[in-house]
């Protein structure tokens, strides 16, 4: 019941726990694929009829700020969000069903320092994402 943990996080950071936020949190936390604000709105209203789209946007903003969710960038668009994995993880997305899997990518360190040396850049951050077909869809 990790949704409760998320609500605790909100509370501990001075935000109130409301029915609208419960609906958003429970929707996003249990999804295994990235959801757009409108998808969260549609799914969330099944839990709390009066939920407004504006509140979805506002809640996603706070969840992102608390690092509980992250924005997912895809060729078709960058408006979707998914729950954050534990630690430093990267995403692997199914091009057919959207199913997301996390993986660790810390084998990148040697590649990154070699790039830094060659280009003269100081590298602070990296994004790595894989696309393909999940076991069910292939």
Partner DNA sequence: ATATTTATTGAAAATGATTTTCAATAACAA
Partner DNA sequence: TTGTTATTGAAAATCATTTTCAATAAATAT
20 interface partner picked from DNA, its own copies, none, CB below 5 to 8 A per type: DNA
Helix, coil or strand: residue 98: coil
Q: Which does 59 bind (CB under 5 to 8 A by kind): its own copies, DNA, none?
A: DNA
Binding pattern to its own copies, positions 66-85, x when CB under 8 A?
Answer: -------x----x-------
* Structural contact between residues 37 and 57, judged by C-beta atoms closer than 8 angstroms: yes
* 58 touching DNA, by CB under 7 A: yes
Tokens coding 7: 């609500």
Site residues (CB under 7 A) for DNA, limited to 1-20: 11, 14-20
Structure tokens at 96: 């057919």
Residue (57 or 131) nearer to DNA, CB: 57
- Contact by Cβ (8 Å): 29, 83: yes
CB closer to its own copies, 17 vs 101: 101
Alpha-carbon gap, residue 97 to 134, rounded angstroms? 8
């Amino acid at each position: 019941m990790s949704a409760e943990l998320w609500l605790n996080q909100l509370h501990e950071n001075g935000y109130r726990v409301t029915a609208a936020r419960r609906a958003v949190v429970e929707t996003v936390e249990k999804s295994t694929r990235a959801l757009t604000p409108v998808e969260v709105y549609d799914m969330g209203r099944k839990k709390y009829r009066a939920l407004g789209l504006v509140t979805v946007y506002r809640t996603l903003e706070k969840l992102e700020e608390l690092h509980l969710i992250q924005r997912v960038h895809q060729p078709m668009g960058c408006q979707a969000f998914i729950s954050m994995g534990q630690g430093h993880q990267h995403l692997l997305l199914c091009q057919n069903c959207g199913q997301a899997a996390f993986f660790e990518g810390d084998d990148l360190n040697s590649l990154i320092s070699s790039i830094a040396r060659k280009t003269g850049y100081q590298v602070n951050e990296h994004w790595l994402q894989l696309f393909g077909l999940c076991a069910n869809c292939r």
